[in-house]
Amino acid sequence: MIGMALGVHVRCGIEDVLWNQTRTGKMSSVEQIRQLVRIAGELGRPIATAQQAREIMKIGVFYETADETLQANGFAPNRNGGNQGFLRTQAK
């Protein structure tokens, strides 16, 4: 809920907490997704389509080198020797 309120994208997967809020039982992945959709609706956040989610998560996007991958995702290039630099570059 905090992520949604802050305007970032949220996701749900099998590694997430399986217990329900009252710890009386476990939630399935479908129940977790339904809960996220309900909360997003209550906060006025739209739900991404499957295609939008693929674009956000860059599914199917491949890069030639590690440096190209870092640059495309807003990170600084790998350091050369003792050149410390910054850990991240500013988004463009």
pLDDT confidence of residue 89:
61
What is the tens place of the pLDDT at every residue in 4-16?
888 888 877 666 6
Calculate the alpha carbon distances from 29 to 19, 32, 43 in Å: 11, 5, 21
What is the tens place of the pLDDT at every residue in 20-41?
888 888 888 888 889 889 999 9
Decide if 73 is inside a domain: yes
Model pTM?
0.58
My answer on whether 8 and 43 are in the same domain is yes
My answer on whether 45 and 69 are in the same domain is no
Residues of the domain holding 16: 2-49
Q: How far apart are the first and last CA of the chain?
A: 27
My answer on whether 15 and 40 are in the same domain is yes
Decide if 26 is inside a domain: yes
Structural domains counted in the chain: 2
pLDDT confidence of residue 60:
93
